[in-house]
Structure 1
């Protein structure tokens, strides 16, 4: 009887976390839009906040680690081919698209490096929930997102050096260190706390999506405030670049899933794992290694990919599977 109550309680807590995640993803674009508007209208309010961006990103990644379970990693072992296909698609399609779009639109070196850096980032933190809303293969989505995040210190810096090095100097070694400190270590810390805390942390799970959404919103406000003057002249061009990058990523990710015969659910998961990026990491790295202007594409991407992801998920969910 006690075991049944425990399982029922765990299910209710998991359901509460899932509902909170759905609400957070739905309202996230509005939060980020408000944060961007605040950074643009009152940039002086965020003077000196740039140094806090890596720590803020660390909070987001710590929350991500808290939501992970051993089941997420076992899913990789069950379907290594599908996960490998997702990783290759993610780290080939989006970096390649970033480089091509930078050339196509003749972006300035700072903006070109920023667009490419967004493409070289791991999967977005909201991709799993959006996949769920689209009635896609959530297990595959979680596996690809988890592994792409863990591999980011090894993959993102050399890709950025290869593709953005023609625009700006790239210190790949320093970038590896930064990703380890702001991504991998916080994720591992979250995993450890989740393991040690066990059931006691389940009640906190519904709060984590909101904490992540609010923290990313603050990052966007800081990044926008740092390049407020440049936004007025470059915003339209950056928006076009971001829409092309994200839209083509979603479409090609879905196509990669179909070519890989992952089925409709797997193809939907691939669409969001390829098209949605960890733009918070890209903004942090761009601010630290390039300039606030180079972080502008990541700030715009952070807003747009959640809007487009929600719209695409709503459309796909109505199509059935």
Structure 2
């Protein structure tokens, strides 16, 4: 078990490196990875099951005690990122599938990797976890409706089918994780350090499957999509922080909202795009799986060197430890 914990920590620490390496191999030698495409939904369910195992009642306590920052952040996430993606896709003239895929990336909830980045950035971890949890629970309704409104002009959107998909790959696995933790708390507690390894492995397999299926598309549209994803991420980080400033929140909350808004559950984006739009539409989410885990550590390192008043984070972060279970 100790060896597994060590491997798990290394996998989480160098997640972006592993994703880049595997993506490169899948691009150069796609054939062995092509059959993995049929397991994308199952693998994402495994990641979400791990999230369920790590959730605690305190994660939802902040929503009731101090709802304004949480609601502000979640609203910013579901407004800024979809509209930002729509504007970028329109201005850059992205092809229909890529445009819909970018809007889909902007419409999914936050990912758990953002919690780790907020912690490293000396942001308000309790707010970050509450935002991730609430946006994830709202996703079955919010994501399909946003896509119907913004992406329907490019590709047909079936909101009911997408609702069912999100329930299957997010809500059910998270619920199972919560139930298992309730029934077998001791066993689950002992296994928590291994969860990052399972999550990283699942996401790496998902990325390799989609990259292998999009070798031709990456060759022709790779730089265009990469530019769009980077611009989208920067827009989310900047406007997320600006939302905190506008609401006159303290610095630790501004950092939390910035990172939460800027980083999405790209694994869910890949699964939904593959199931409902096609492999090309999954490309923005695949690139985001790599880029978000490069930009996240960069901004976290920058902010970690800038002091935040201790009272801003000390009380609200009690009972929280970042779980490196990546999306």
TM superposition score category, shorter chain reference: over 0.9
Gaps of 5+ in 2: 309-327
Alignment of 1:101-112 (within 5 A): 101-112=88-99
TM-score normalised to structure 2 length: 0.90
User: Mapping of 1:177-196 within 5 angstroms?
Assistant: 177-196=164-183
2:125 counterpart (127, 135, 138): 138
Partner Cα distance (1:237, 1:304) in 2: 14
- 8 Å Cα contact 1:49-1:222 kept in structure 2: yes
Task: Give the secondary structure class of the aligned counterpart of 1:294.
Answer: helix
Aligned partner of 1:256 among 228, 234, 243: 243
1:94 is aligned to 81
What is the match of residue 299 of structure 2? 312
**1:39 maps to which residue?**
26
Partner of 1:159: 146
Distance in structure 2 (CA, Å) of the matches to 1:170 and 1:178: 13
Find the residue that maps to 2:281 and give its secondary structure.
Answer: coil
* Aligned CA-pair RMSD: 1.7
State the partner residue of 1:272: 259
From 42, 45, 52, the equivalent of 1:65 is 52
- In the TM superposition, what is the alpha-carbon distance from 1:259 to its structure 2 partner? 1.4
CA deviations 1:237-272 (Å, max 9, x no partner) are 011001000011011111111211221100110011
Determine helix, strand or coil for the equivalent of 2:14.
helix
| Contact map agreement 1:127 1:273 (CA 8 A) in 2 | yes
- Given that 1:25 and 1:130 are in contact with CA atoms closer than 8 Å, whether structure 2 keeps it comes out as no
Cα 1:77–1:20 shift into 2, 3 Å: farther
8 Å Cα contact 2:70/2:127 also seen in 1: yes
- 1:27-80 deviations in Å (ceiling 9; x for gaps): 110111112112211211122322210000000000001000111111211111
Contact 1:32 1:303 in 2 (8 A): yes
- After the TM superposition, list the runs of 4 or more consecutive aligned residues in structure 1 that deviate by more than 6 angstroms: 19-22
Deviations 1:150-172 (A, max 9, x none): 11001000101111100011111
User: Are 2:82 and 2:103, in contact at CA under 8 Å, matched by a contact in 1?
Assistant: yes
Q: Do the aligned partners of residues 295 and 193 (structure 1) sit closer, same or farther apart at CA in structure 2, a change above 3 Å counting?
A: same
Shift in Å, 1:290: 0.9
Say if 2:181 and 2:188, in contact at 8 Å, map to a contact too. Answer: yes
Matched, 1:29 2:13: no
Separation in 1 of the partners of 2:195 and 2:118?
18
Gapped runs of 5+ residues in structure 1? 1-16
Offset of 1:25 from its aligned partner? 4.3
| Distance across 2 between alignment mates of 1:165 and 1:22 | 41
